[in-house]
Amino acid sequence: MMFILSFNTISAQEAENYKIIMGVRLNPLVIYDFEGGRKELFRLHAEVGALLNKRTYLSAGYTPFTNSIYSFNEYWFISFDNPLPISAVISAEYMFDSEKFILQGGPNFKLNGGNVFAFIFTPIDNINWGLKVGAFIPINFVISKG
């Protein structure tokens, strides 16, 4: 009997090592430049990612409006076990039509229905810092876990 309980406990722990997630993100946001300008936008992203050990999320996606691909990488330094999980994000995006490569990063806060974030960003060919403040509303499903 103890063997069965031990095996079930080990299996349950192993089931939490990773999740492969696929879906879309709805992304309302405001972009501020540091010359006083701002834009209110709404983006839709298609994404596939892996959540590793409930701490690290690595993903790649596509944004149709900007015809861009991106890599979104985060580490949850305040874990999902806390009332307000917080991650640090580093992301890179390549926009095909404008041939721009953008780097961005900052904090991401997990709420019940999605995430809110504040990221600084800049194109790498012409450093020009800006700030994105917004939300990610995921419509995802788990395609594999183990």
What are the beta bridge partners of residue 61? 47, 70
Give me the helices (H) in the chain, please: 2-14
Name the stretches of the chain with pLDDT < 50: 1-13
pLDDT at residue 94, rounded to an integer: 99
Q: Which residue has the tokens 């788990």?
A: 142
Start-to-end CA distance of the chain, whole Å, equals 24
Distance separating alpha carbons of residues 89 and 108, to the nearest angstrom:
7
pLDDT at residue 14, rounded to an integer: 52
pTM here is 0.84
Q: Which residue has the tokens 């050990």?
A: 53
CB atoms within 10 A of CB 57: 19
